[in-house]
């Protein structure tokens, strides 16, 4: 069944500053597309420097009052936001599908994870936010640690999870007493329109959350602005390095979650009936545009041909189309540029000598002839040195690599520049434990293709997939507060 679009055209997207939803005064506008139809669905204002400064200023003024509001009251706003997210979940999910291209089921997952983070942030307020105290550290001397919010934070997010990634940080930041300026991806900014409406409907005090649109210029203003205490960034490694360097240069705290090239290892003793559907979804879910998407399939031992054959057969069954059709398994990639980049990688793979055993380059979806579709694409006989095995493609392209042993597979993973996630499929506790202990990646899946941590766990990442000390989700408590130590003698 094809679900209805919320709107065909969202017009000029608005910015949200000091509790006011308003039109930007910028004369630089981008366009947000529906990638299934190659249609413009919104105009995206690239906020002026003055608007960004105004947003930061308003967040700073709001901070002075917001931090004084008792935690029990701040939590009530989060309950209200959670309820509104539940109420509008389907509407926002459809907006995500329209602007991003992922299927409605995936978009609903985006919403569920967002809500889960609000719930986790509520729990944090009553638990991890508390300080510590020890009487008599010395004669008549007691020592106490209290946690305090810091002020204004910038939240910079990628295109692939337009709502969930802002919610990896936003609810924690505000429940702990901080205020924020969000800069969504300029590629998928449409769903944030509804999120802004939610803040208005729950009467969140003015300036606690502000939203500006744009790209590098907004980020640069965040760095040069003294009122910004820190930034959270999720996106590519190239931009992530820029963010981390500038955080050091301008003295800001930073969480930087970056790019990935994730491995899935299949051992000969894996239960293939369960493994194959799981890896198909890990490689091609979200059209391969997940930071936890599988990219390299390493098959160990003499089951290589069997796994390859079953993987190709199952991948061929995926139905492509408009994600609003709830029978569709895979939507288009996000932009025409993304499509060109991915096709470029497929050409590179062919030139490098990998064997293209499933070619998704020429798929045509009859109803959507202009959509940015690429079908599941699989390379065989890939070696770890090939570019397609090393660089992040961020699309529906899988590379199958053979390894003689688990040691060889682990060695390949550990030589990768990235360390976001790695999974193993096996029925051996020994292999699973060895994998968990020896693989250098932040999120490990054992018989799980997409190792996505729940909100109440940190979101890992290592090597070029992560820069900083603290991770997103629950680690935010450490990030969005600072500790003050009070030593008392009476
Ligand atoms: P991107 O790096 O292009 O953009 C991310 C954000 O940075 C956007 O808001 C964008 O406007 C901004 N930006 C872009 N260029 C900039 C510049 N020169 N200076 C300052 N800011 C700039 O990433 P994307 O294409 O939107 O997202 C895909 C990437 O995100 C992939 O690499 C994926 O692996 C990664 N990702 C990582 C995680 C994780 O948790 N590690 C999660 C999701 C996505």
230-252 pLDDT per residue, tens: 999 999 999 999 999 999 999 99
User: Residue 210's pLDDT is what?
Assistant: 98
Our mutation pick for probing the ligand 1 site, out of 114, 158, 250, counting the most ligand atoms within 8 A of Cβ, is 158
Cβ–Cβ under 8 Å, residues 219 and 228: no
Q: In 10 A of CB 383, how many CB atoms?
A: 14
Domain 15-258+465-489: CATH superfamily is Aldehyde Dehydrogenase; Chain A, domain 1 (3.40.605.10)
For residue 239, how far is its CA from the centre of ligand 1 (angstroms)? Answer: 6
Using CA of residue 133, residue 136, residue 137, residue 142, what is the dihedral sign? Answer: positive
d(CA 135, ligand 1 centre) in Å: 47
CA distances from 29 to 24, 44, 126, 210, 215 (A): 10, 5, 43, 19, 11
Indicate which residue of 115, 164, 291, 421 is catalytic. 291
Q: Which atom of ligand 1 is nearest to the CA of 159?
A: 26
Distance 133 CA to ligand 1 centre (A): 41
Work out whether strand 253-257 and strand 262-266 pair parallel, antiparallel, or are unpaired: unpaired
List phi, psi (to 5°) of 122: -65, -45
Atom of ligand 1 nearest to the CA of 184: 9
331 assigned to active site = no
Q: Mark the ranges of the chain whose per-residue pLDDT is less than 50.
A: none
Q: Specify the residue with its C-alpha closest to ligand 1, atom 23.
A: 235
Ligand 1: residues with CB < 6 A are: 156-160, 183, 185-186, 215-216, 219, 234-236, 239, 242, 257-260, 291, 392, 394, 420, 459, 461, 465
Hey, where are the domains in the chain? 15-258+465-489, 262-454
Tokens representing residue 476 in the block: 């935010």
Q: What pLDDT does 291 receive?
A: 97
> Widest CA span of the chain, in angstroms?
81
Measured by CA distance, the residue closest to atom 34 of ligand 1 is: 259
Q: Which of 147, 123, 121 is closest to 133 using CA atoms?
A: 147
Q: Using CB atoms within 10 A of its CB, is residue 429 exposed (0-12), middle (13-18) or buried (19+)?
A: exposed
| pTM reported for the whole predicted model | 0.98
Q: What is the CATH number of domain 262-454?
A: 3.40.309.10
Taking the CA of residue 215 as reference, the ligand 1 atom at the shortest distance is: 11
Q: How many CB atoms within 10 Å of residue 200?
A: 13
Residue 292 in contact with residue 420, Cβ under 8 Å? yes
Task: Give how far the C-alpha of residue 256 lies from the chain's centroid of Cα atoms, to the nearest Å.
Answer: 11
Query: Which is the closest atom of ligand 1 to the Cα of 156?
Result: 9
Q: Whose CA is nearest to atom 26 of ligand 1?
A: 158
**375-378: Cβ within 8 A, 24+ apart:** 375/318, 375/320, 375/330, 376/280, 376/283, 376/284, 376/315, 376/316, 376/318, 376/330, 377/346, 378/311, 378/312, 378/315
CA angle in degrees (0–180, nearest 5) for 448-449-455: 70
pLDDT at 126: 87
Asked if ipTM goes beyond 0.95, one says yes
For residue 168, how far is its CA from the centre of ligand 1 (angstroms)?
15
**Residue 320 main-chain phi, psi, to 5 deg:** -95, 155
């Amino acid at each position: 069944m094809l679900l209805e679009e919320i709107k065909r055209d969202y017009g000029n997207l608005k910015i949200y500053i000091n509790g006011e939803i308003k039109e930007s005064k910028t004369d630089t506008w981008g366009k947000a597309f529906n990638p299934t139809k190659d249609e413009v669905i919104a105009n995206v204002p690239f906020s002026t420097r003055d608007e960004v400064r105004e947003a930061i200023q308003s967040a700073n003024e709001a901070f002075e009052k917001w931090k004084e509001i008792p935690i029990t009251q701040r939590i009530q706003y989060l309950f209200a936001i959670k309820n509104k997210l539940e109420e509008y979940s389907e509407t926002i999910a459809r907006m995500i599908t329209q602007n991003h291209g992922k299927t409605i089921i995936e978009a609903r997952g985006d919403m569920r994870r967002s809500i889960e983070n609000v719930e986790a942030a509520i729990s944090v307020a009553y638990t991890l936010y508390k300080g510590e105290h020890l009487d008599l550290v010395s004669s008549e001397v007691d020592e106490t640690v209290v946690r305090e919010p810091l002020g204004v934070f910038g939240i910079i997010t990628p295109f692939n999870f337009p709502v969930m990634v802002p919610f990896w940080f936003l609810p924690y930041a505000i429940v702990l007493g901080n205020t924020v300026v969000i800069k969504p991806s300029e590629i998928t900014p449409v769903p944030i329109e509804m999120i802004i409406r939610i803040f208005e409907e729950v009467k969140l005090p003015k300036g606690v959350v502000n939203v500006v649109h744009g790209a590098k210029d907004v980020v640069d203003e965040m760095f040069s602005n003294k009122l910004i205490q820190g930034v959270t960034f999720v996106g590519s490694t190239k931009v992530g390095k820029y963010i981390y360097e500038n955080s050091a240069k301008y003295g800001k705290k930073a969480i930087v979650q970056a790019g990935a090239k994730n491995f899935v290892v299949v051992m000969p003793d894996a239960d293939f009936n369960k493994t194959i559907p799981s890896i198909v979804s890990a490689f091609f879910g979200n059209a391969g545009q997940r930071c936890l998407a599988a990219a390299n399939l390493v098959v160990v031992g003499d089951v290589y041909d069997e796994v390859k054959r079953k993987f190709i057969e199952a991948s061929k069954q995926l139905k492509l189309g408009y994600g609003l059709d709830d029978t569709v398994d895979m939507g288009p990639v996000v932009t025409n540029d993304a499509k060109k980049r991915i096709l470029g990688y497929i050409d590179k793979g062919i030139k490098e000598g990998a064997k293209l055993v499933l070619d998704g380059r020429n798929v045509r979806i009859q109803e959507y002839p202009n959509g940015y579709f690429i079908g599941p694409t699989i390379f065989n006989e890939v070696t770890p040195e090939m570019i397609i095995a090393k660089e992040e493609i961020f699309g529906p392209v899988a590379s199958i690599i053979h390894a003689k042993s688990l040691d060889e597979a682990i060695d390949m993973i550990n030589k990768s520049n990235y360390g976001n996630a790695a999974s193993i499929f096996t029925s051996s506790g020994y292999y699973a434990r060895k994998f968990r202990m020896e693989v250098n990646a932040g999120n490990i899946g054992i018989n799980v293709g997409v190792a996505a941590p729940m909100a109440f766990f940190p979101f890992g990442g290592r090597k070029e997939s992560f820069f900083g000390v603290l991770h997103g989700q629950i680690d935010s408590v450490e990030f969005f507060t600072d500790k003050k130590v009070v030593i008392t003698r009476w």
